[in-house]
A and B are shown apart, each in its own frame.
Chain A
Amino acid sequence: GDSVTQMEGPVTLSEEAFLTINCTYTATGYPSLFWYVQYPGEGLQLLLKATKADDKGSNKGFEATYRKETTSFHLEKGSVQVSDSAVYFCALRDSSNYKLTFGKGTLLTVNP
């Protein structure tokens, strides 16, 4: 079945540091890929997405590129802020039934 493996945290960075959170997947067919962010005590918010190979999703300075050859969708940001502190989930959506499969999440803490 479908699965998502993402870098285990926690990740602690200083403000303005470069961020990479690795994400790889296994899936049949042609899934869509997502990054969601969850702030403490809240639900999930879509951060960015990519629906086909070589697509790059971007939002709020975050980027991720759908790499079919390496089955990856790594999240990057050039300069993190304290307000980026949250849990980040990589996910894929099955093209046949729209179910989302999530990675385990990565807790990011950005210190001033």
Chain B
Amino acid sequence: GAVVSQHPSWVICKSGTSVKIECRSLDFQATTMFWYRQFPKQSLMLMATSNEGSKATYEQGVEKDKFLINHASLTLSTLTVTSAHPEDSSFYICSASRGATEAFFGQGTRLTVV
């Protein structure tokens, strides 16, 4: 299957700083990328959907000014957690798809805010 690379795999940052997470589709062009958040022992919560060249569509309850998503090209989407706080600590996962094809997932990023 196609490969989606997410970077970094884990990051620790100080409260109040911003963190950027990258999601790349390595061998295909992803028209749509999805960002999920996963709490310990829980399911994945869809945060937003991003299409290349347009603004991301956020799910209800997700702060768009807090979680900035950019989908600048068909192979790269970024999630920036701005002014991070301990409650933002979580496992963030991206997925990429091309039209109706299945979604391929990155390996996830463990964010810890101290």
Interface residues of chain A, those whose CB is within 8 Å of chain B, are: 34, 36, 41-46, 49, 89, 93, 97-105, 107
User: Shortest distance in angstroms between A65's beta carbon and chain B's nearest beta carbon?
Assistant: 18
Decide if the interface of chain A is mainly helix, strand, loop or mixed.
strand
Measured between beta carbons, the chain A residues less than 8 angstroms from B43 are 89, 102-105
A98 vs B46: C-alpha distance in the bound complex, in angstroms?
A: 12
Whether A99 lies near B49 (C-beta < 8 A) is yes
Decide if the interface of chain B is mainly helix, strand, loop or mixed.
strand
A107 vs B107: C-alpha distance in the bound complex, in angstroms?
A: 18
Q: Across the A-B interface, how many residue pairs have beta carbons closer than 8 Å?
A: 50
A49 vs B107: C-alpha distance in the bound complex, in angstroms?
A: 20
> Which residues of chain B in 93-109 are interfacial with respect to chain A, using CB atoms and an 8 Å cutoff?
93, 95, 97, 99-100, 102-108
User: Shortest distance in angstroms between A109's beta carbon and chain B's nearest beta carbon?
Assistant: 13
Interface size class of B (residues with CB under 8 A): 20 to 34
Whether A43 lies near B102 (C-beta < 8 A) is no
Given the known interface contacts A43-B93, A46-B1, A98-B32, the answer about A105 and B106 at a Cβ–Cβ threshold of 8 Å is: no
Q: A43-B108, A46-B1, A89-B43 are in contact. List 17 more A-B contacts (CB 8 A).
A: A34-B102, A43-B4, A43-B6, A44-B44, A44-B93, A44-B95, A44-B105, A46-B102, A49-B102, A98-B32, A98-B100, A100-B44, A100-B46, A100-B95, A102-B43, A104-B43, A105-B43
